[in-house]
Structure formats: structure tokens, C-alpha cells
Structure 1
């Protein structure tokens, strides 16, 4: 039972039953009170002229003096004929002059005359029931009243209580048990039928919540494919849609984490290889120079030192790329845009790579459209982008191949395209070439492929500039990388680094 009331269905059912009980009790109390008011109003309306009719019987006993014995006898006789009423004779101030009752039963010898005056005024705006004081109790009861002339010309009142003490005793004895039993039966009947209907309704309403709870529980236990069927557009339907969207996001994030973890493992293996091989080579050459210091000729020593220097340069380049990529990831490096000549920058970068292309007998071709305008961007970062793309093209182009660098304007943008005549990129690798540490060439050959960070750095820099880069390639037909920069508009406010970011 405790477990049931810990559930949402149990709590809602308990609250519903409590509210139903309270509302049923309130309704019964209001209904009983309304019924009593209706009875009182009806009783007073029907007996409105009772006191006036009785006043004619009392008047003979009030001609010269107050005949108490005759009045008491008359009151007693009338109350025998109608036990439901009690008759009192009052003066104009409301003091009791005559009645038929034991004196100890009279608790109030003075009656408030304000309700009596309202009753006898015959004002059409007066609404029944009008409640007056009961001489035998502290309660207010309905009455009938009429003005009567007392001896000496003074005015008094015939005051008739319409619910006598005997009547109250009978009602409390008979009517009380009837009302109590009827009320209890009605309340139980309401609770049973409304409870059954409410339980069925709440069970159906919470059934969707239970399904959602099971789905969330299964998802928490590792079933990331679990989803909730959306059956409506209400709040529960919106909650189901939100959970499904969240589950999709979490599942994609987990897949991305697994992918990143695989890349991280591959990174560790690749970087370990890239660090270990040059370090081992440097160590071997240094040990050889140390062992043969006295017998080694200058030419051989110079060759060894050049090999060591190349290894250190490669290591420095690898560390620099890792550091640069980490700063781009952490947004520590942000572009500082300024107008510059993309044509001059491209010529400088191509000259820098000309010796590398000549060593591989690669024809490095540059085609630059005349009178190109300045563009907006961070010149240092764009230099890095062009350098990485040309280096990547030369690296994957076989000997006697060619690399083309084309620069042209289209509308308000300048496009830069770098093409090579290499083996191209397989279709399945195209979506991943900008992933960090991803290499199309899986072997760690020194003759092809770098650390796998160059294109990742290119993508990060262009993303920081708000620029997309496109790749087109077919196996055996080389690859083509294209991106564009906005033409500098002198009359417009220059973009700040914050705007671009």
C-alpha cells in the first residue's frame, strides 16, 4: 500500500478522494442548510397572519386590566391544540408579560423588538425568513407576530415561536437520525461512483506517464535506442518529443565521443610514432658522431648533422601544429581582420613552396586574375590556410605531376582554388578529411602524408572567419579545394574580430 501511494497515480487518486470527500461534505452541509432555510421561509410565510388571528382571542383579556390567569389558560389551550408553537405576550419594549412555561425554562425575559417591527411593518421589500429571539434558548427561530393594544392604551405584541421546544425535541429525535443516515448514504454513494470513475480516468491519464517512465528508465540503463511514441500535441506529447530529441542528441554525442576516442587513440599512436622515429634517428646519429668523433671525416659529419637538423625541424613543426590546433579549439586564437592583397600573399606563399615542388619535379602553376581588390581577413591566418593547402597538394602529388593555384573574382568575393594531379580522395573519405588526425593515406610513410593536422587547422581558421571550404575529388583525378573571401569595401565599417566570430 505504501508503494502504491508513492506513485503519481496513487498520489493523484488520494488527493482526488480527499477533495471529493471535502466537496461532498461541503455540498451536503450547504444543501441541508439551504433546505432548512427553505423550510423556515415556507413556515413563516404560511403562518404570517397566525399571530394576527390569535390577537382577536387575546383582546378580551386586555380591556381593563391584564387578566393573567385567563391569558395563561388561553395560551395553554392553544398550545395543546398546536404543540408546534409557543405563544408569548410582550410589551412595546420586548419584555415578557405572559407565557405558559415553567419559569426556570425561560432564559431570555427580554426579546429584541427590531425583527418583530420588521415583520409587522408589511414592507414588500422585507424577505423571509426573519429570525427572532427564542425565550427558551439562545437560538434564533422563525416567528409570527402581531401588534395588540394593552390596558392603558399601550401597544404590545403577540409573539408566536413557530418551532416550539417539543417540536425541536421531536425533530432532533426523528429527523436527526433520518438526515444523518440519508447524508451518510448520499456521501458514500458519491464517493464510490466518483471514485471508480476518477480512478479509471486517472489510470488512463497516467498510463502514458508510466510508459514515459519506463522509456526513461531503459534509456538510463543504457538502451540509447529507446524512444517514446508521440500520440498527441498536449503537454505529454510535447514532453515525449522533447525526450526523443534529447535522446537523439545524447546518442549522437555518444557516437561522437566514441569517434573522438578512436581518433584520440589513433592520434596517440600516430604522434607517438612521429615523435619516436625522429627521436630514435636523432639519438642514433648523435651516438654515432660521439663514437666516431676522432675518425669521422667532415663531409660525413655534416650529412649526419643535416639529418639531425631535419628531424628537429619536423618535430618542431609537429609540436607547433598541435599547439596551434589546441588554441583554435579553445578560441584563444581569434581572427583580426584587416584589408590586404590576396594576390601578393598568394605569390609569396607560392615562392616559399617552389623549392619543395622542384625537388619532387612538380610543376607549381599560379594563375591570378588582374586587378584583384583587397579582401578582408586575418592575413596571418589566411597565409597559414594557403600554406597548408599547397603543402597538402604537393605532398599527395606524385613526381612530374602538377599543382595549380587559381585566384579570381566573382561578384563581391575573391575565390581561391588549389588543384593537384594526385591520386584523389576516395568518396568514403571525403566527409572526414577535415577531421583532426585523419589521414587518407593510412600508412605512416614519410614520403606522403603529414601529421593529419594540416587540413583540420585549415577548417578551424576558415570557420573562425565564417567561410566554408569545398572539396571536389575523384579517384585518379586529383583533388580540388576552394574557398572565398569577401572583397573589402572601404566605404563600409570594417568587420571586427568579434563580428566575424
Structure 2
């Protein structure tokens, strides 16, 4: 049988409540009985001794058993809660005031009698009940002596059979039953209140359990699942934390789905880009292999150059794919050091000076002389500058300018690569760092471009704990910028 937490708590509460009620009832009954017996026995402990001392039949040692029986009968009429017995020194019952058929014992154990006579402070002491073969009751006892000779014992049962009968009737009376009924109702009401309190306490936990089950089933929380973030209830705090966690998990899951879709699109695009140079390379090589004897040296040399160009484009594309994969996989190590930024900028510009002259584009470094020391990975920074300059020259027409500008900050140096090219539309700026994205106004040249340069540069700058930013306006040019740590 599967029980909920509330049901288990409620069942446990009922069982514990019943057990505590029984223990309390047993303990209170035992305590009440013991204190009643002790009080009764202390109150009448000397009664037997007074009767022996004041009664002529017992004081003079004259054992008129018929007279004693009449005396006992008279005393029982005056005190119906007492039973009187006269015992010999061995504990045998010699006379009593009762109907013979009611006496179930012929003798009484003397050990409790001697204990009470010698140590009266040890009450309550229970002795044998002559009317019950297995019963024991409190009593008062005294030794009967004549001329210092022990003649027997006066044995008085306190709370005899008549007392028990009357007490049982009173206990079973309507008044006591009414009191017991009200006490039971009060306890039942208390139990219901406690069960309601348990229900109130465990209700948020039940809500949280249902929310977890719903999230496990469909990855979504119930629409009405609102938790009080300012509550001091730990379950509400746990519910808020769980809701935040599920929101983050859903967001990450959606990002993973988008990333997976982007990877699929990137793979399809790259497959197409790889197919083009491979097909060209294969075609020209087959032409050389099949028509080698019929080709002139000029044609053969032109086919070889075209094949080499396609092979270089293919290698370049594969290198970029591997580089982006390593960056996304976090498999890149940094070798950062302090170096003069100006020297690196002039080295990079020198690589593109011939290409810039051929296109009629002017390359500038502003300021022309600088002694800024920065802390970065030279190879990674050179790769970023190379990508940015390559893009700038590709999209800048003849007569344009590409400026590399350095701006000194408080503890950093900002590097800007600005061109006067075609620019990028405002609605496309947010996507230019995505792999394989190409702006609608991209300029084509004779080289193959995979569209991975800016994506690689963005990730490289993130590794260098910087951010690659862009500003652009259609028809006026584009400016990429990033910050580097300055070394003093």
C-alpha cells in the first residue's frame, strides 16, 4: 500500500497519540491507585492496634470466638469498608465476620503482616485477601499478646468486598460515563486539530512534489505554481529555488536545441563549401591526367595553378573549421606575456601592405609612435587582427582607408580597426559573429571565404578576457574594437 507523506504522518500521529494516551492512562491509574492505597493504609495503620488494646476480649487474651465474631460483625456494620479476621500465630484464620462460603483461603501469609508491624513506613504493603485466592489488598494488623505470649493477630482488610462493590457502581455511574465521554471527545477534537495542522504544514510539500512530477513528465511546471519568495517557510523557499532551477534548465535546454540546430546548419553549409573546391580540384586534376599529352605547357601550368589555388582554399577552410571546433571545445591554451603593442600592429600591417596597395586602400596606425605595453597572447591577438584587417580590406573600395587606432584608458588600451567600406545594416549587427553568417552587402573577391573569421575572433577575444564590439553604418564603414590590459 502506497501512502503519501501526509497519510504516513497522520497514521504515525494517531498511533503515537493512542500509545501516549494509553501510557498516560496506565501511569495515572497506577499512580492514583498507589497513592490511594498508601493514603488509606497510613490513615488506618494503627486501627488494629487500637482495637486490640481497647477490646476486652482481645486485651485479656480470652478467646471467645463467638464473641469475636459478634464483635467483628458489629464493627463491619459501623465500618462497611473493613473486613476483620483473627489469625493464629501461624497465620491460620480462626474466626471472621462473613459467610463461610465467601472465604476462599484458610490461612494468610504472615510475611507482609510482620513487615507492616515492624516497618510501618514501607506502605503500601499488600496482604492476602481471604475472599480472593489470588487477590492482595492493603490491611491493618496488630499482634495479640497475653502475658507477653503471642496469641495471634488481628488482621483487618481495608476496602473489602463491600467497598469494591460500591466503588464499582460509582465508577459505572452515568456521571462518570458522561465525564469519560467528554474527555474522549476532547481528545478526539485535539487529534483532529493536530491532523489539520499536519495537513496545513505538508500541503506545500505536496505541491512541490506534484510540481516535480509535472516537470519530470513534460519539462514544464503547472501554470498556477506560484511560490512566495519572501516566505520564511522552508518549503516555499525550496519551491522558489526549484522553480528558478527549472527555468534555468528550460533556458539551457532551448539554447542547446538552438545550438544543435546551428551546428546542423553550419555542417550543411560547410559541406557545401568543401564540395566546391574539391570538385574544382578533382576536375582540373582529371583534366591533367586524361589530356596531358594534348595540353600545351601554358595550359598545363594554368591548370596546375588553379588546382593549387583550390587546394589552398580547401586547406584554409579546413583550418578555420578545426580552429573554431577547438575554441568551442575549450581545447585552447594561452601563453600570455607582456609585449609592446605597437610592434605587433606594424608586423600585422606589413603583411597586408602589398594587398592594400594593389586595391588602392590606405593602411594607417594611429598614433604612429606608441610605447604601450599590454598583457596578452601574441599569437591569438595577431590572429584576431589578421581577421579584422582581412575583412576590412575585402569590404573597402579603392581609395578608401583602414585605420588601426589605439586609445589609452585608465588601465587598458583600446584597439579599434576602422574602415570606410560598405558598412553593415543595423538589423544585421547582432548576427555577424555567428558562424557562417554573411551580411547581405558582403563584397565578393576571388578567394573563398567560409564566414568563420569573425566567429573565431569573437571567441579568441573571450579567451583573452575581452569583448569584440562592432559599430557600423551602411555606406560609411565599420569599426571593430576591443580592450587589452595595460602593463605599467
TM-score category, normalised to shorter length: 0.7 to 0.9
Tell me the equivalent position of 1:30.
27
Q: Does the aligned pair in 1 maintain the 2:91–2:107 contact within 8 Å?
A: no
- Whether 2:107 is the aligned partner of 1:111: answer no
The structural deviation recorded for 1:249 is 0.7
Q: Does the aligned pair in 2 maintain the 1:325–1:457 contact within 8 Å?
A: yes
The one of 222, 227, 231 equivalent to 2:218 is 222
Tell me the equivalent position of 2:17.
20
CA distance in 1, matches of 2:418, 2:372: 23
Q: Does the aligned pair in 2 maintain the 1:90–1:159 contact within 8 Å?
A: yes
Q: Residue by residue, what CA displacement relative to the aligned partner does 1:260-313 show, whole Å, maximum 9, x if unpaired? A: 122112201210111011111112222222333223222332222222222211
The one of 7, 12, 19 equivalent to 1:10 is 7
CA distance in 1, matches of 2:128, 2:390: 116
Tell me the equivalent position of 1:131.
124
Q: Does the aligned pair in 1 maintain the 2:313–2:448 contact within 8 Å?
A: no
Q: Residue by residue, what CA displacement relative to the aligned partner does 1:81-114 show, whole Å, maximum 9, x if unpaired? A: 43422456799xx974877565835452322655
Tell me the equivalent position of 2:380.
381
What is the number of residues matched between the two proteins?
474
Structure 2: stretches of 5+ with no match in the other structure: 97-102
Tell me the equivalent position of 2:325.
326
Q: Does the aligned pair in 1 maintain the 2:219–2:250 contact within 8 Å?
A: no
Tell me the equivalent position of 1:313.
312
CA distance in 1, matches of 2:425, 2:83: 113
CA distance in 1, matches of 2:424, 2:149: 126
Relative to the length of structure 2, the TM-score reads 0.81
Q: Does the aligned pair in 2 maintain the 1:133–1:139 contact within 8 Å?
A: no
Relative to the length of structure 1, the TM-score reads 0.79
Q: Does the aligned pair in 2 maintain the 1:343–1:368 contact within 8 Å?
A: no
Tell me the equivalent position of 1:467.
466
CA distance in 2, matches of 1:105, 1:178: 39
Q: Which moved more, 1:163-172 or 1:341-350?
A: 163-172
CA 1:16–1:343: 2 relative to 1, 3 Å: same
CA distance in 1, matches of 2:447, 2:82: 121
CA 1:409–1:99: 2 relative to 1, 3 Å: farther
Determine helix, strand or coil for the equivalent of 2:294: coil
CA 1:104–1:233: 2 relative to 1, 3 Å: closer
CA distance in 2, matches of 1:230, 1:99: 85
Q: Aligned-residue CA RMSD in angstroms?
A: 3.9
Q: Does the aligned pair in 2 maintain the 1:467–1:484 contact within 8 Å?
A: yes
The structural deviation recorded for 1:76 is 5.4
Tell me the equivalent position of 2:159.
163
CA distance in 1, matches of 2:155, 2:136: 13
The one of 45, 54, 57 equivalent to 2:54 is 57
The structural deviation recorded for 1:115 is 5.4
CA distance in 2, matches of 1:444, 1:360: 13
Q: Does the aligned pair in 1 maintain the 2:116–2:125 contact within 8 Å?
A: yes
CA distance in 1, matches of 2:49, 2:112: 19
The structural deviation recorded for 1:352 is 1.4
